[in-house]
């Protein structure tokens, strides 16, 4: 398992058996203007050959998943202090953790 941290040394996610997992709080991490979630581009580049799936757990309730291929093909890069690759929410598969 590999842990990833941002440039502030805060843990942002982990890669385990080809799946990158990230926990987010919607009110803090969801980009309302872009209607998307993002991951630091340095992390994407480091794990692009090792990661098959990305899973984002929002507020402990909703899971958003996509393939790394989708993130690379349909994602877009923006710089908000650091380069991040964003994917619009409609490109994710969504499910409730309560199911």
The model's pLDDT over 37-60, given as tens digits with 9 standing for 90+, comes to 999 999 999 999 999 999 999 999
Q: How far apart, in whole angstroms, are the C-alpha atoms of residue 61 and residue 49? A: 29
- Checking DSSP bridges between strand 11-16 and strand 62-67, what pairing results, if any? unpaired
Instruction: Tell which phi-psi region holds residue 18, choosing left (phi > 0), alpha (psi between -120 and 50) or beta.
Output: left
Q: Measured between alpha carbons, how far is 24 from 6 in angstroms, rounded to an integer?
A: 14
Instruction: Spell out the domain ranges in the chain.
Output: 24-51+68-80
pLDDT at 7: 84
- At 99 the pLDDT is 53
Structure tokens at 6: 């941002």
Residues above pLDDT 90, as percent of the chain: 87
Cβ count within 10 A of residue 69: 12
Instruction: Please report which confidence band the pLDDT of residue 5 belongs to, taking 50, 70 and 90 as the band edges.
Output: very high
What percent of the chain lies above the pLDDT cut of 70?
98
- Tell me the whole-structure pTM to 2 decimals: 0.92
């Amino acid at each position: 398992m590999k842990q990833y941290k941002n440039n502030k040394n805060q843990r942002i996610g982990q890669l385990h058996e080809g799946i990158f997992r990230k926990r987010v709080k919607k009110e803090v991490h969801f980009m309302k203007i872009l209607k998307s979630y993002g991951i630091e581009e340095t992390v994407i580049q480091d794990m692009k050959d090792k990661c098959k799936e990305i899973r984002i757990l929002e507020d402990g309730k909703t899971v958003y998943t996509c393939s790394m291929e989708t993130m690379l093909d349909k994602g877009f890069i923006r710089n908000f202090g650091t380069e991040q690759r964003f994917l619009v929410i409609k490109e994710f598969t969504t499910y409730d953790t309560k199911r």
